[in-house]
Amino acid sequence: MKITLKQLQQGQCKIDQLILQSMDCDLYLVNIRDAQGERLIVCDDAGSPLSFRSQLHAKKPFKGLGITDTLLEHQSTYNEMIGIEPARVAALQVPIANPDQDYS
């Protein structure tokens, strides 16, 4: 499912968790987990997933929304890189500073 940044900033959905999905060295997508536990990807008004070039840049639009749980998520492609059959491996999830706690 998708939700727009505008909807989140207008308070149309309570954010229980902010998830910064690391796609590459400098490419991040943002997901949220709502009060019902559903994971939603944050999109622009046209429905395209928002992408950011840094963690700081990705968290900035969420300042002031009272987020208390933020994770950095990274999916490993190690098996594919060394020629082993790709297998579903749980993503690495690391707690990071919430948007309101950053010094930006």
pLDDT digits (tens, 9 = 90+) for 5-59: 999 999 999 999 999 999 877 899 999 999 999 999 999 999 999 999 999 999 9
First-to-last C-alpha distance (Å) of the chain? 30
Return the higher-pLDDT residue of 93 and 91: 93
**What's the pLDDT score for residue 75?**
81
Best CA proximity match to 90, nearest among 74, 72, 69:
74
The SS3 call for residue 61 is: helix
Domains of the chain, by residue range, sit at 2-101
Which pLDDT band holds residue 93 (cuts at 50, 70, 90)?
very high
Q: Are 21 and 13 contacting, i.e. CB atoms less than 8 angstroms apart?
A: no
Per 3-state DSSP, the chain is made up of helix, strand and coil in percentages (nearest 5) of 20, 35, 45
HSE-CB of 19 using CA atoms within 13 angstroms: 20
